[in-house]
């Protein structure tokens, strides 16, 4: 099976490269930092260049596209405009959907749990109220809409908080916490934001399984089995890695008003499990992450 991965140098993308290259014929794409893409069949491409994008489809003829490329910054840096975010997160997604329809290709799109209203309660299902409160979440939801308007051979994964150790240039907050604690430095962690974290290793494994399943036209919550605060996640890390919990400093969302306030987007993953996609426990995922740390 031929699989095209967008965002192949990203946090999730680099783990997908490793997991999928073992079983499938892949092309992985990047734009600036290659990450580990140079270890695999790869293409450097600006996905906003729709002519080059169509050439890639024409030459490779992918059977599945896994679209992870996105501008995911909560606070934009000075090099990016809102138009850049819209172009990459919405227009590129729409064009990929059109190409997938034209080439009879399945599209797997990684959306985000942040599309949900963060004040509606715990273990939200796929029908829960949608109120994205950041530009990133808003444009990811718009990407979902564009896909649904284009065709029905898609799977939309509303992906929970991903954690683990990034490869090459990619990093996440979990890694920052680990490195601070390893160096006996204090670290601030939210006690009042609740998510359903899933490790980047486990996410890659489950997507590899998903590819083989006959599923289309579905929106699926994609996360771990447990609802925890970011502080509780850090506590679990301390317990398993033997780090000092006394270095964890409790803070609340109101202490950082510059960030979008999302209190609880913990996910019900019953639909995901109904398709045979059963994630490991949170403790098992943390152990896997630590065991595979490079």
CATH architecture of structural domain 2-164+197-225+265-281: 3-Layer(aba) Sandwich (3.40)
Per-residue pLDDT tens over the stretch 197-223: 999 999 999 999 999 999 999 999 999
Tokens matching residue 145:
């809409």
Reported pTM: 0.96
Q: What is the pLDDT of residue 76?
A: 67
The ranges assigned to domains in the chain are 2-164+197-225+265-281
Among 253, 214, 218, 248, CA closest to 233: 248
- Asked if 4 and 26 touch (Cβ cutoff 8 Å), the reply is yes
Please tell me whether residue 54 adopts helix, strand or coil conformation: helix
Q: Give yes or no for a contact between 259 and 75, defined as CB atoms under 8 angstroms apart.
A: yes
Nearest to 85 by CA among 156, 13, 145, 140: 140
CA end-to-end span of the chain, whole Å? 29
CA angle 15, 204, 280 (to 5 degrees): 125
pLDDT digits (tens, 9 = 90+) for 236-284: 999 999 999 999 999 999 999 988 889 999 999 999 999 999 999 999 9
Confidence of residue 98 (pLDDT cuts 50, 70, 90): very high
78 has pLDDT over 90? no
Taking the CA atoms of 232, 236, 241 and 244 in sequence, report the sign of the dihedral they define: positive
Q: Helices 173-182 and 230-241 sit at what angle, rounded to 10 degrees? A: 50
Nearest to 201 by CA among 150, 162, 250, 258: 162
């Amino acid at each position: 099976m031929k699989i095209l991965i967008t965002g192949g140098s990203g946090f999730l993308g680099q783990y997908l490269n490793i997991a999928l290259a073992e079983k499938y014929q892949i092309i992985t794409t990047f734009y600036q930092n290659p990450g580990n893409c140079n270890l695999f069949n790869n293409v450097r491409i600006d996905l906003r260049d729709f002519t080059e994008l169509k050439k890639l489809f024409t030459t490779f003829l992918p059977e599945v596209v896994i679209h992870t490329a996105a501008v995911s910054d909560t606070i934009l840096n000075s090099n990016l405009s809102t138009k850049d975010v819209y172009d990459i997160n919405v227009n590129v997604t729409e064009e990929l959907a059109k190409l997938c329809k034209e080439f009879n290709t399945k599209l797997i799109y990684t959306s985000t749990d942040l599309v949900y209203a963060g004040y509606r309660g715990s273990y939200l299902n796929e029908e829960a109220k949608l109120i994205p409160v950041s530009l990133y979440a808003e444009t990811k939801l718009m990407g979902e809409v564009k896909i649904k308007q284009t065709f029905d051979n898609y799977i939309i994964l509303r992906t929970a908080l991903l954690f683990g150790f990034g490869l090459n240039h990619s990093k996440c907050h979990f890694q920052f916490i680990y490195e601070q604690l390893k160096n006996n430095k204090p670290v601030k962690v939210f006690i009042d934001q609740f998510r359903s974290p899933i490790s980047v290793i486990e996410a890659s494994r489950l997507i590899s399984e998903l590819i083989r399943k006959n599923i289309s036209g579905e929106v699926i919550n994609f996360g771990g089995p447990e609802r925890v605060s970011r502080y509780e996640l850090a506590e679990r890390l301390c317990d398993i890695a033997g780090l000092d919990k006394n270095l964890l400093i409790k803070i609340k969302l109101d202490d950082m008003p510059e960030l979008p306030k999302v209190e609880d987007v913990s996910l019900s993953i019953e639909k995901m499990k109904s398709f045979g996609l059963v994630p490991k426990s949170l403790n098992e995922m943390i152990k896997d992450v630590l065991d595979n740390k490079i």
